Structure 1
Amino acid sequence: MVAETFPRLQHRAALALLCGLGLPAAAQVDITDDSGHRLVLKGPAQRIVSLAPHVTEILFAAGAGDKVVGVVAYSDYPEAARKLPQVGGYTQIDLEAIAALRPDLVIGWPSGNRSAPLEHLRALGIPVYLNEPRSLDAVAHSLEQFGRLAGSEAPAQAAATAFRERRAALAARYRERPAVRTFYQIWDRPLMTVNDEHLIADVIRLCGGRNVFGQLSQLAPTIGVEAVLAADPEAIVASGMGEGRPEWLDQWKRWPQLEATRRDNLFFIPPERIQRHTPRILDGAQLLCEQLEQARARRGAISPAAPSGGA
């Protein structure tokens, strides 16, 4: 299908580039993406297509929401993103729909987008920037980079500064607290977790937790129940699919010998607050830090940290 429509796409891309010739000159944007690829734009992008929900959210947070002309499915935050044209899902990109939007920049996600469509877009002459934040520092960096790409540096810098300040406040309050052995459960069947290279693991560290599966080689490995029983986490934190606590979280009560079960440390955080690489991840971090503090308090000998404002 892609091969059949490729000449038509080339024609549309050429028209899009010609349409931009009459635009006023702007400062060149010379930038390197998260894959190490250098990108040079003649000026800040005016028509951006986002290929991941987290990219859409960061663009809006960076003050570039008015430049976004297309998104993928599940780009549902902020509310304005729901009204934008969709170009498929992040794993099934519609190349024709993208070309029809005449973008001067596409922002992709290497972990979620397939490489072939991204290469096709580059072959059409459409600049592609790849975003892959795997730490909290990288989320702030993404805000700044998107601000440069879209010419919204001032609001992007303000958002990045606010993010770093909130992160620092959480770190000051929780990072040095006694460690809590933590198992983060992404899903039930298959049973999945994260290693220490994952952004969620950075949140666990921020809260003074220790990821019991941090040393595994895969970013989001599949494990067995036996591995969880052997690791014997003090806290189990699950996400699921929506705002409701997943029923499978309480299945760990079938193993009363687990320390997390014995101490009632089975916690839930809505996935959009901790599994999206956006500023809202600090909302999830706040919840996780409070939950791990509950786990410490249930040891009996350690009292919770004193309340503090600003976090």
Structure 2
Amino acid sequence: MKTLLATFPLLILILCPTATGATSPVTLVDDAGYTLKLDSPAKRIVSLAPHVTELVYAAGAGSRLVGAVQYSTYPEAAKKLPLVGGYTRFDAETILSLKPDLVIGWVSGNPKEQVERLRQLGLKIFLTQPDQIDDVARNIDQIGILAGTSAIARTESARFRNRHKTMAIRYATQPPVRVFYQVWKNPLMTIGGQQIISNVLTLCGGKNIFAQFGTLAPRVTEEAVLAENPEVIIASGMDESRPEWLEDWRRWASMTAVSRNNLFYIPPELIQRHTPRLLDGAEKVCQYLEQVRRTSSAISGLTEGRLGD
């Protein structure tokens, strides 16, 4: 399915690409493989994920949002939207009361059975699954098509793609740095190679030490982390403050990340949401890894100097 979607990311049968409120029908295939048909661009949209809410605004369709899930906090206007529950447990009756002509959800984040319940109630559903950085721009373009705001969406997606390309060129030749990204403490969770944060690490010249896992958020053990001996540990937690458990690693003084004080924090809204701000989080990751490379180079220089003596 992924190959098909990559080959035909915007399967458009009939489309009006302008943002002038035209009423031409629209047909798109979403990231779950479903074909969505709208008689005209959506005017009343409900978002089932915080990152989707932000993408709708990025696509120039924020004024068409009539409801969103909890933690839809960006941009500021999103905080005023009626809430329809959380992304893992939304209220179908509340959604129906808002009379949306389009509901945009999240393949891996929204419970499948709840999404199917909305379909059975007659709602039009479009699901996103941005696993790679480039998918953020693609989803913006798709939402612009669905909402009839393609001109604005294309401008935003082009800006995102250009920034991504610039960063990729800048860090393409940097020495690799081995990274453990911690999602949670209990259970201890990290990211697999198909998770978008792993894509961010790669962009910055980082190497996800658990990239071999196919699941998005695999559980691991402390022993497995110690055996891999990462040069860097990055965490973001669930709120705006540095998670306390990031400091728990200091008891393992022999680990390279600890001995060199390479324990870093990224605000979750910048790294755990699939939005244009993901590149803000990526910039922070890249800066941290550059700092690590400079430190490693200095240590290597001192070691070689001592050996020369």
Say yes or no: TM over 0.5. yes
Residue of structure 2 equivalent to 1:44 = 41
Higher mean alpha-carbon deviation, 184-193 vs 57-66, is at 184-193
Report 1:156-195 matches (<5 A).
156-195=153-192
Q: Deviations over 1:109-150 (max 9, x none)?
A: 121211122112212221100011001110010000000000
Report 1:91-106 matches (<5 A).
91-106=88-103
Structure 1 counterpart SS, 2:90:
coil
Partner letter of residue 164 of structure 2?
Answer: R
CA separation in 2, counterparts of 1:208 and 1:172? 11
* Aligned counterpart for 2:289 among listed residues 271, 288, 292: 292
CA separation in 1, counterparts of 2:188 and 2:23? 50
Using the TM superposition, give the Cα deviation of residue 51 of structure 1 relative to its aligned residue in structure 2, in angstroms.
0.4
CA separation in 2, counterparts of 1:65 and 1:302? 50
CA separation in 2, counterparts of 1:193 and 1:80? 32
Partner letter of residue 230 of structure 2?
Answer: P
* Aligned counterpart for 2:121 among listed residues 93, 100, 124: 124
Using the TM superposition, give the Cα deviation of residue 25 of structure 1 relative to its aligned residue in structure 2, in angstroms.
7.1
CA separation in 1, counterparts of 2:268 and 2:172? 22
Stretches of structure 2 that go unaligned for 5 or more consecutive residues are 1-20, 301-309
Residue of structure 2 equivalent to 1:134 = 131
Q: Deviations over 1:38-57 (max 9, x none)?
A: 11111100000000000000
Higher mean alpha-carbon deviation, 120-129 vs 88-97, is at 120-129
Q: Deviations over 1:273-294 (max 9, x none)?
A: 0000100000000000000011
CA separation in 2, counterparts of 1:299 and 1:114? 44
Residue of structure 1 equivalent to 2:248 = 251
Using the TM superposition, give the Cα deviation of residue 99 of structure 1 relative to its aligned residue in structure 2, in angstroms.
0.5
Root-mean-square deviation (Å): 1.4
Structure 2 counterpart SS, 1:298:
helix
Report 1:223-234 matches (<5 A).
223-234=220-231
Using the TM superposition, give the Cα deviation of residue 243 of structure 1 relative to its aligned residue in structure 2, in angstroms.
2.1
CA separation in 1, counterparts of 2:101 and 2:270? 30
CA separation in 1, counterparts of 2:222 and 2:180? 12
C-alpha contact (below 8 Å) 2:31/2:107 kept by paired residues: no
Higher mean alpha-carbon deviation, 259-268 vs 279-288, is at 259-268
**Correspondence 1:32 to 2:63:** no
CA separation in 1, counterparts of 2:172 and 2:85? 40
Partner letter of residue 29 of structure 2?
Answer: T
Q: Deviations over 1:41-93 (max 9, x none)?
A: 11100000000000000000110001100001111111101101011111111
Residue of structure 2 equivalent to 1:282 = 279
Structure 2 counterpart SS, 1:133:
coil
Structure 2 counterpart SS, 1:49:
strand
C-alpha contact (below 8 Å) 2:22/2:148 kept by paired residues: no
C-alpha contact (below 8 Å) 2:22/2:41 kept by paired residues: no
CA separation in 1, counterparts of 2:295 and 2:185? 26
C-alpha contact (below 8 Å) 1:107/1:129 kept by paired residues: yes
C-alpha contact (below 8 Å) 1:47/1:104 kept by paired residues: yes
Residue of structure 2 equivalent to 1:107 = 104
CA separation in 1, counterparts of 2:240 and 2:285? 15
**TM-aligned CA distance change 1:302 to 1:280, over 3 Å:** farther
**Correspondence 1:74 to 2:71:** yes
Task: Give the total of aligned pairs.
Answer: 280
Using the TM superposition, give the Cα deviation of residue 302 of structure 1 relative to its aligned residue in structure 2, in angstroms.
9.2
Structure 2 counterpart SS, 1:253:
helix
Residue of structure 2 equivalent to 1:147 = 144
Higher mean alpha-carbon deviation, 106-115 vs 73-82, is at 106-115
Using the TM superposition, give the Cα deviation of residue 300 of structure 1 relative to its aligned residue in structure 2, in angstroms.
2.4
Using the TM superposition, give the Cα deviation of residue 241 of structure 1 relative to its aligned residue in structure 2, in angstroms.
1.8
C-alpha contact (below 8 Å) 1:175/1:205 kept by paired residues: no
CA separation in 1, counterparts of 2:94 and 2:299? 57
C-alpha contact (below 8 Å) 1:185/1:192 kept by paired residues: yes
CA separation in 2, counterparts of 1:138 and 1:60? 16
Residue of structure 2 equivalent to 1:266 = 263
CA separation in 2, counterparts of 1:125 and 1:246? 42
Residue of structure 2 equivalent to 1:199 = 196
Percent sequence identity is 54
Higher mean alpha-carbon deviation, 28-37 vs 167-176, is at 167-176
Deviating beyond 2 angstroms after TM superposition, the runs of 4 or more aligned structure 1 residues are: 300-303
Stretches of structure 1 that go unaligned for 5 or more consecutive residues are 1-23, 304-311
TM-score, normalised via structure 2 length: 0.88
